[in-house]
Structure 1
Amino acid sequence: MENKEKLPWELVEEILSRVPPKPLVRFRTVCKRWNTLFDDDTFINNHKMTFRFILMTKSKAYSVSLNPEIEVRELILDIPALKNQKPNDMVDCNGFLLCGMKGAVVCNPWLGQNRCIKAEVNQPRLQFHGVGYDDNSIGQKIVYKTLARSLNDGSSTASSRIHDIATGTWKDVLDEARDETLPPKTWCRFHSTRCVALNGTLYWVAYYTSNPSLFLVSSFNFSREKFFIFCGLPCEKNDHNDALVLRIFKGDRFSLLKQCHVTKKIQIWVAKDKINWYTTTDVKWMSFMEVSIPNLPCLVQTQSYTQQPSYFIEDKRDGF
């Protein structure tokens, strides 16, 4: 029997105005009325969050909209905890903003919702990497979690911990990713602590401790609660002073920006196919663009950096 119970059109518009832009495009096929609505100037102007991507600084976040002109606005985060202290780091991850401080705050900029993560008593200083989720959750309900590194003051060691946002509980995990085909203790280290999130899994540019010139992509899967070596990079020769920035392209694959610290040349590659956490070494990269300007400033100023350059690319050509 057809369900004839319908929501008021005003409520439908309100709900759709809170949907991020990329999923909204797919909804054009639902019906003619929805398709027409998305071209309506009033709907576009009233859309709660029309930004395409976020630019991050150490303590502030900015939304960038294309409507069609470029508009940059500061995201005002209504977080009481931020009024008395300055975030030591901010991470844009999985559609959330993760603000590190004493503990952390997870913000949903689309809905204006926040969730505080309280540090445990006598817990060492934490560096939060990102927000992901367990794809083995019971009842198909997504359980969001954060991954943080516990920095033990006074020692060179560190360990990673998972925080379950729903229950507020912490769990220790193995801090390393290792290639099982290589000799024991062939571990990976992050090139930068900044990660990207795709389908609940976190990804970083990393390198082998046994061969510091060999770079790769490592991952952390919340379902398995483990780090993995994921795939290689398209650029063979790299230096620790080069900028190597991993981002998400078209919502389902990788893009990689490299700037050589010597020539200042910028190269960007994109993954040919969609990325799944089980894809591993089968990722195929394609050259997207190159920019060579000898007097271009370095995009990063230090070898060990947490704040990476922000960039956004889009290509509507067939085959991409």
Structure 2
Amino acid sequence: MVDPLFRQSFLYDALVLDRDIHPGQMQLSSGACVNVLGRGLVEVVPPRVTEETKHIILSAGIHGDETAPMELLDLILADILNETVAVKEHCLFMLCHPEATAQHSRYIDENLNRLFNKEQKEQSKEMQISQVLKSVVQGFFESVPESNRWHLDMHSSIRQSHHYTFAVSPKVKKPTRSRELISFLQKGAVEAVLLANAPASTFSWFSAEHFGAQALTVELGRVAPLGQNDLIKLTSFELALRGLITAELSHLEEQPIETYRVTQTIKRMSEDFGFNFAQDVENFTTFEHGQVLGHDGEKLLFAKSDDEAVVFANDKVAIGQRAALMVCKVETRYEEDQIVYD
């Protein structure tokens, strides 16, 4: 069929920055409606919305060079438009930073995924975008049951990783770590989940903190240019994603998942900052208790537990930002349908 909404596709239209994106709507034969809200913003409303309907945000491209999740969303939305995927849940597809993606860049002025708290900062391209994204999320989630709100913010890692796919569950006071959410990860063969121990300023944290959404940052493979991602390695996750939005997850089997707790967050606090390990160290590389990880000015940075693993190490971040997470494996259980650990 001829797609009346896009000249090329959801993704590639968003990247043509000198061409305006006009709002548009298409009703499918199933009765579902596809609404183009703006550049990189498409809402899919199922034929029937009830009190049980999930309201799911699927976002990608917070970092412009993390392209595999963008390609996944592009493929899924194309199949929705050609009616080979019958959506049963209310969905919002988001490509968050098309300008950075078009420039093959992680960001323009600063890291967008550090701008979703209330801290006042100088204006920048990313600050403007964060305000728009927060408004879009509020509009999507308002007037729907808190228990039905989901947000999967999808990324790709800068470096190699012992776990090819993993997720980070933000720390908030609301019950946002449901058995159903963890089951989705297992059905998508996501290899590990990190349970954060402190508030953050990420996009997924924003949705969990302010709207009680079942929200995750999901890391899918490694950064690669558009067209060079090995999406075959993400087949299990793609099937689970399709199952989530079509309410057809029951046929997928849960796979084992490793669970980690965050033991410490290392922030860069001075110009004289560096790690002792190699720049290309893999995510989830482990260290022993007392091993020196690096330095921050005159302060030495130590591993605080045996088999403490490093994730997201980046000694080039701005002063005051997270330079690494340190995590340890942990045994978990469910209490009142929420995953917890001792």
- The TM-score, its normalising length taken from structure 2, stands at 0.26
Richer in strand (by share) = 1
Richer in helix (by share) = 2
Structure with higher Rg: it is: 1
- The TM-score, its normalising length taken from structure 1, stands at 0.27
Determine which structure has greater relative contact order: mean sequence separation of CA pairs < 8 Å that are 6+ residues apart, divided by chain length: 2
